[in-house]
Amino acid sequence: MTDTAEEMYTLVERMYPLCRSITGDGVRATLDIVGEYIPLQVHEVPTGTQVLDWTVPQEWNIRDAYIADTAGHRVVNFAASSLHVLGYSVPVSATMPLAELRAHLHTLPDHPSWVPYRTSYYKPEWGFCLAQETLDALPDGEYEVRVDSTLADGHLTYAEHVVPGQVPDEVIVSCHVCHPSLANDNLAGIAVATFLARALAQETPYYTYRFIYAPGTIGAITWLARNAERVERVKHGLVLACAGDPGQVTYKQSRRGDAEIDRVMRHVLTASERPHHVNEFTPYGYDERQYCSPGFNLGVGSLTRTPYAGYPEYHTSADNLDFVSPEAMADTLAVCREAFAVLDRNRRYLNLSPYGEPQLGRRGLYDALGGRSDTKQAQMAMLWVLNLSDGEHSLLDVAERSGLPFSAVAAAADALCGAELIKA
C-alpha cells in the first residue's frame, strides 16, 4: 500500500465524525481539515442570496439531539452518530408518548441494525433516524425529545482550490461536502480529489484544474450562479463521489455522451484493462445533474466506484470506515491521474508536409535499413500522427484508430513537432 493510500484513508477518518449538512459549521470544519493538505479559497454566501432558480437557505447548526426515556437514559443520541438526527431538523424540546413520536422516526426495516440518512432541507421538520432494532426495543410510554439546533440567517460555505495550468481553459473536479458520517459518500471522494490536486501541482499541467468542494445541489448551483463567465472556460470536468468502496470503477458519461472527457475516460478504462463500467448519462445522481443541465451542458462526467444508490449501505450507517479502503481510493486516484494525463496531452496537430510522406529518414526518424517487416511502434506512431494530423483528428483519435498506446502517439507527436513536420 502506498503512503498516499494511507494518507487518504487518514483524511477520511478525520472527517468522518463531523456533522455536515448543506450549510453550517460541519462544512467549515471539514474544509479546515482539507485546507491542511491543499490551500483552499473558502466562500461564504449569505442566506437569501438568489442562485439561479434557488435561494440560499438559512444556515443550520446543531449542538445536541436525543430521545430519552423517563429514566433520563438517551435511547437515541446525536453524540454517538451525526446520522441520528434528521438533517436540517428544526429545534424541538418536548415530551410525548411513543405513538406520537413515531411520525418523526425513520428506520430501515429491511436492514434492522442500520441507521438511515434523512434530511428535510426545504420543509421545516424535525426527526430522528435510528435502527429498526432500537425502535422495536422501545417500550411504550413517554419520551423526552430534544433537538438543540438553530436555523437562522447565516451563510452557505464552499471552497475552491486551483492548480494553475498553461492555458486559462479549465477542468473542474467537483465533490459534495454536505453528507454527515458517510465514509464512501462522500469523504472518499473528498480525499481522492484532494490528493489528485496535490499530484497535479507537482507538474505544470496544460489546463487549469479547479477543485470545487461544495454542498450537493445547492452548492453546485451556487457555484454556477456565481461563475457565469468562468463556465465558458470550463472545457471538461469530473464529479467525484463514492470513491472508496470495493466495487468496480464506474464512469457515468456527460449529457453529451461524446464529450472529450467521455472519450478519454472510456479510452483509459479500456486501455488499463481494469474491470469497469461505463454508464449512460441520467439526470439523477450527483452534481453532474447541475453541470449537465441543458443550459450549461458541460462536458462533465462522474467517476465513482459503485455508482449512486447502487449498494445497500448507500445512505446508511453501514457506509462507515470499514466500507472504504485505502486500496480502493488509491485505485480511483490512479484512474483520475491516467485520465487527466491523456486529457491534458490531447491536442490536434496539423501536418506541415501533408502531400505524400515526408522523408523521415533524412531527419533521423526512420530506420535506414529497408526491407524488414518488423517496423517499430515508434515509427508506426509517427506515420499515424502524420497521416491523421489534418486538423480534424486529436491524438486520442490517432490512438484509438491506430490501436497504439496514447503515450506512444504523444511521443511521436513530440518528435514530429521537434522536426517541424507538424504543429499544434
Q: Which of 203, 168, 177, 176 is nearest to 340 (CA)?
A: 203
Nearer to its own copies, 93 or 373 (CB): 373
- Contact between 356 and its own copies per CB under 8 A: yes
- Contact between 117 and its own copies per CB under 8 A: yes
Spatial neighbors of 134 by CB under 8 A, at least 6 apart, are: 75, 76, 107
Question: Under DSSP, is residue 235 helix (H, G, I), strand (E, B) or coil?
Answer: strand
- Of 87, 154, 215, 301, the residue at the interface with its own copies (CB under 8 A) is 87
User: CB-based burial of residue 424 (10 Å sphere; 0-12 exposed, 13-18 middle, 19+ buried)?
Assistant: exposed
- Contact between 420 and its own copies per CB under 8 A: no
Nearer to its own copies, 4 or 21 (CB): 21
Hey, what's the cell of 325? Answer: 479502503
Question: To the nearest whole angstrom, how small is the minimum distance from the Cβ of residue 265 to its own copies?
Answer: 20
Spatial neighbors of 135 by CB under 8 A, at least 6 apart, are: 105, 107
Question: Under DSSP, is residue 131 helix (H, G, I), strand (E, B) or coil?
Answer: coil
In this structure, what is the dihedral angle of CA atoms 37, 43, 44, 46, given to the nearest 10 degrees?
-160
Sheet holding 422-423, edge to edge: 390-394, 348-351, 422-423
Mask for 217-256, x = binds its own copies (CB under 8 A)? x--xx--xx-----------------------------x-
- Contact between 150 and its own copies per CB under 8 A: no
Question: To the nearest whole angstrom, how small is the minimum distance from the Cβ of residue 195 to its own copies?
Answer: 28
- Contact between 290 and its own copies per CB under 8 A: yes
Q: Identify whether the C-beta of residue 302 lies closer than 8 Å to the C-beta of residue 251.
A: yes
Question: To the nearest whole angstrom, how small is the minimum distance from the Cβ of residue 220 to its own copies?
Answer: 8
- Contact between 177 and its own copies per CB under 8 A: no
- Of residues 10 through 49, those in contact with its own copies by CB under 8 A are none
- Of residues 182 through 221, those in contact with its own copies by CB under 8 A are 217, 220-221
Residues composing the chain: 424
| Residues binding its own copies (CB under 8 A) | 52-54, 87, 116-123, 125, 217, 220-221, 224-225, 255, 280, 282-284, 289-290, 292-297, 308-309, 314-315, 351, 353-359, 361-362, 368-373, 375, 380, 383-384, 386-390, 401-402
